[in-house]
Amino acid sequence: MVTCPLCDSAIDVEEEEVDEGDSLSCDECGGDLKVVGKDPLELESTDELDEEEEEEGSLADPSEDEEEDWK
């Protein structure tokens, strides 16, 4: 049994039937979740994952883009 990272409700999922990267949804809050770990089973909100990816993209060195503009 694993809990929803958004509302802490129990999510009934067979750990053997999911793989890392699979998507699930919480029956209680309707949150979209992704399996990010198998041992132990770990879920993360897809909204949080999207935000992390956006933040990582904004941390790219802007000077690299500027150099290409000058060429």
Q: Taking the complete model, does pTM exceed 0.75, yes or no?
A: no
Q: Render pLDDT for 38-60 as a digit per residue (tens, 0 to 9).
A: 999 999 998 876 666 677 776 65
CATH 3.40.1160.10 fits 2-55, yes or no: no
- Measure the CA–CA gap between 25 and 5, rounded to whole angstroms: 11
End-to-end CA distance of the chain: 56
User: CB burial class (10 A; 0-12, 13-18, 19+) of residue 31?
Assistant: buried
Contact 46, 33 (CB under 8 A): yes
**How does DSSP classify residue 65?**
H
Domain boundaries, the chain: 2-55
